[in-house]
Structure 1
Amino acid sequence: MADELKLLRDANPVPADSPDFGDGPLDRRAEQRLRRLLHEGRPRRRARLLPALPGRTPRARLVWGLAATVVVLGLAVNAVLGGPGTQRAVAAPRPLTIQPHSSPVPLKDLVALADAAAADGSPGLRKGTHVQTWSLGLSDGEKPVTLPVERVVRWRADATHTELVVATDPSRPGRPVLTDEGDDPHEVADGHVISRTTYPPMWSDAPPEGTPPHTASGLRAYLTEIVRPEVDRSTAPLSTEDLFDAVGELLDHWTLGARESAALVRLFAQAEGLRPAGDVTDRLGRTGHAYVYDTRRIRHMLILEPRTGAVLGMEDTFTEAVPEDGVRPGAVMEYRAWMR
C-alpha cells in the first residue's frame, strides 16, 4: 500500500491549482445543477455568453459572476439606454414564427426519414462544433441586452483543438455588434475576433467529450450522464427539459453524423410533451420542422432538418412577462443555430 500511495502522490492527479478542485470554475454539469437550485420556479437568468458564426463558430463557455454582472449592467446602460445619438448596438431577435398553412410533421414520421438518410452512414460524426448564438443578458433594474456570438471549434488528429469566438450577427450583417470583451463593454465591427485559442492534447471518455453512441438506447444513457448525477441515472427517466439541455451540450462538442442524428430523433419522438408545430425558417435562412414544449414561463422550440432529422437550432422564448427583469412576453431568452 505504501508503494501505491507514493505513486499516487508523485502523479499528483489533483493538483491544488486544478480547475476541477477547490475554488476552481464549475464544469458544465455543475453549472446546470447550480442554476436549477438557484432559480427553481423562475426563468433562468442568462448571465453567460455562448458563441456562434457561419463559417466561424465556437461556444464561449463564459459564466458570469459578480464581475460579469457589472459588465452586463454597463452594457445595458451604455449600449441600450445610452445618451442622445447612441444607437442600440444589437436588436433583440424576434421569436421565430411558424410558416402559415404549413402542416406539422409528427416525429414518428421524421424517424423513418432520418433512418433512411442514415442508411449509408454519411455524413459521419465529427468532433468539434460551429454554432451561432444569441443570449439575453439580464441585470437587476436594467433593460435586457442581447449578445450575438459565433463559435467554431476544430479538433486535430493529435488531440489538440482550436476555438475561434467571433462577435457577429448574421441577421444584421455589417452592423456593429455588442461585446463584453475586456473591461470596457463596447461596440465592435461585425466579425470582430473575440478570441482565438489553441488547446493542448486532451482525452476523455466521459460525456460530452467521449464519443456519442449511434443507437437510441446508448445515446439516451450518454445524454443522461451529461445532465444527471450518477445516483439518479438508473431510476430517473430523462425529462424533456433534461433532454434539451443535454442535446445542447452534446452539439456544443460534436457535429453529429447521420446515424447519431437518426438515434436522436427517436429520443425526441419519445419525449413527453414535445409536439409538432409546423415549419419555420431559421435565422440562417434554413427551413426546418419545429417542435415545441412548454415549461413555466418558457416555450422551448426545437428545429429539425426535414430530410435527415439533424438539429438545426433551439430557441427559448418567454411566454409571460418577468417585470423584475424587464422582460416582456415573446422575448427570446436564447437561440442557438448549429452548422456543419
Structure 2
Amino acid sequence: MADELDLLRRANPVPVGGAHFGDGPLDHRAERHLAGLLSERPAERRPRLLNTRRSRVTWGLVTAAAVSAVTLTLVVSGPGTQPAVAAPRPLVVLADSTPLPLEQLADRAETAAVDGSPKLRKGTHVQSWTLAMSDDKPPITLPEERIVRWKADGSHTELVVATDPRHRGRPVLSDEGGDPRLVEDGHVVDRRTYPPSWSDAPPESPPPHDVAGLRAYLQETEYTSTALATPELLQAVAGLLDHWTLGARENATLARLLAGTRGLRPVGEVTDRLGRRGQAYVYDGSGTRTMLVMDPSDGAVLGLETTFSRADPEYGVKAGDVMSYSAWMR
C-alpha cells in the first residue's frame, strides 16, 4: 500500500503548488505522469473496469452514442490535492438574451421548409459526452464521435472514435475494452459494417410530416401506444436523431410537436459545445434537468443536455454535473 500511495503522489496531475484550471486540460507533465500511472500499476491494483452496460446512467436522457468539454482524466489524488475535474460544465444561458417561444420557432421552421430543402437523410453524425459511473470509483466522462452512413443496398457502416472537438490532438479518455485509459485523439473505438436491413418499423422507417403521425411514430420507438411524458418524448427525439439527419420538413414537424409539449420552457440563447448559437428550452424533471438546444432559424435540434439537479453521493455526483450531452451535426 505504501508503494502505491507513493506512486499516486508522484503521479499527482494537480500538485498543491501548481496552477488549477477548473475545467482545463492537464499540462504535458501531468499527462505523462498519468499515462505512466495507468501503465505501471499492477493489474490487480488498477481501477475496476467500468461496466458500460450498468455503469452509464440509464435514467433520464442518456444516449448510447451522448462538447465545450474538458480533456478528461481519471481522478487521481493524494493528501492535500484536488481531484481533476471529470465532467464538462453545463451549458450557460447567455446574459441578456431573449427567450424565443417554441411556437414562434416552429413558425420560422415552417417558413424555412417551404422549398423542402435540405432533404431527409438516413444516418447520423453525433458527438457525445456520457457520464460513466461505478460503485467504488469517481465518475468519468467519455467523449465519442459517431458517424453512421447508409448505402443504397440497405447496408450501413458505423464508425466510433474517441475525440474531444475542443482539444483536437490531445489524448482523450476511453473505456474501450472496459479499462478506462487515455488514447490518442481520433482513436477508433469501433468500426462495423452491417448487412442490409429493410425494417419498416420506427425508427428505421422515415418519420412522417404531420404532428399526429410523428407523435405516434415516437411512441412506437418507445414501444408504447400511450402518450409520452416529456422526458420520454425527448428521449424518443434523441433516438430519432441517432438514426436520421432531418430535412427541412421534418425539422418543422418536430418543432411544431415540441411547441405543444408540456413543461418545456424557453430560457434564452446558448452557445453549444460545437460553438453553434441556439435557443435553449429546459425541462425540470425529478432530480435532473434537460436542456434542448435548437437552431432559431430552421428549428433543427442541435443538442440535448441532461444534468443532475441534485447531488447523488452514492454515485459521487453533485448538483449541476453533466450526465450526458449529444450534439447532432448536419
Distance, in Å, in 2 between the alignment partners of 1:207 and 1:83 is: 50
Are 2:205 and 1:210 equivalent residues in the alignment? yes
Q: 1:237 to 1:150 in 2, by over 3 A?
A: same
Which residue of 2 is the match for residue 325 of structure 1? 315
Report the alpha carbon displacement of residue 88 of structure 1 after superposing the two structures with TM: 8.3
Report the alpha carbon displacement of residue 294 of structure 1 after superposing the two structures with TM: 0.6
| Aligned residue among 92, 108, 120 for 2:103 | 108
Distance, in Å, in 1 between the alignment partners of 2:145 and 2:166 is: 12
1:48-197 aligned at under 5 Å gives the runs 49-50=64-65, 79-81=74-76, 91-182=86-177, 184-197=179-192
* Greater alpha carbon shift after TM alignment, 207-216 vs 273-282: 207-216
Which residue of 2 is the match for residue 44 of structure 1? 59
Equivalent residue of 1:260, what SS?
helix
Equivalent residue of 1:195, what SS?
strand
Which residue of 2 is the match for residue 255 of structure 1? 245
Report the alpha carbon displacement of residue 48 of structure 1 after superposing the two structures with TM: 7.8
Q: What is the aligned length?
A: 271
Distance, in Å, in 2 between the alignment partners of 1:47 and 1:141 is: 21
Q: What's the C-alpha RMSD, in Å, of the aligned pairs?
A: 2.7
Equivalent residue of 1:175, what SS?
coil
Report the alpha carbon displacement of residue 317 of structure 1 after superposing the two structures with TM: 0.6
Q: 1:45 to 1:99 in 2, by over 3 A?
A: closer
Q: In the TM superposition, what whole-angstrom CA distance separates every residue of 1:234-278 from its partner, at most 9, and x where no partner exists? A: xx3221111101000000000001101100011111000000000
Which residue of 1 is the match for residue 254 of structure 2? 264
Q: Percent identity?
A: 59
Query: Structure 2: which 5+ runs fail to align?
Result: 1-53
Asked if the contact 2:268–2:280 (Cα under 8 Å) also holds between the matched residues in 1, the reply is yes
- TM-score, normalised via structure 1 length: 0.74
Q: In the TM superposition, what whole-angstrom CA distance separates every residue of 1:262-300 from its partner, at most 9, and x where no partner exists? A: 000111110000000000000000000000011111000
- TM-score, normalised via structure 2 length: 0.76
Asked if the contact 1:47–1:138 (Cα under 8 Å) also holds between the matched residues in 2, the reply is no
Q: In the TM superposition, what whole-angstrom CA distance separates every residue of 1:50-79 from its partner, at most 9, and x where no partner exists? A: 269xxxxxxxxxxxxxxxxxxxxxxx9x93
Asked if the contact 1:43–1:297 (Cα under 8 Å) also holds between the matched residues in 2, the reply is no
Distance, in Å, in 1 between the alignment partners of 2:78 and 2:177 is: 22
Equivalent residue of 1:182, what SS?
helix
Report the alpha carbon displacement of residue 82 of structure 1 after superposing the two structures with TM: 6.7
Distance, in Å, in 2 between the alignment partners of 1:323 and 1:253 is: 35
Query: Structure 1: which 5+ runs fail to align?
Result: 1-34, 36-41, 53-75
Distance, in Å, in 2 between the alignment partners of 1:279 and 1:315 is: 14
Distance, in Å, in 1 between the alignment partners of 2:66 and 2:99 is: 30
Report the alpha carbon displacement of residue 171 of structure 1 after superposing the two structures with TM: 2.2
Distance, in Å, in 1 between the alignment partners of 2:95 and 2:179 is: 44
Distance, in Å, in 2 between the alignment partners of 1:90 and 1:179 is: 16
Distance, in Å, in 1 between the alignment partners of 2:99 and 2:256 is: 17
Which residue of 2 is the match for residue 314 of structure 1? 304
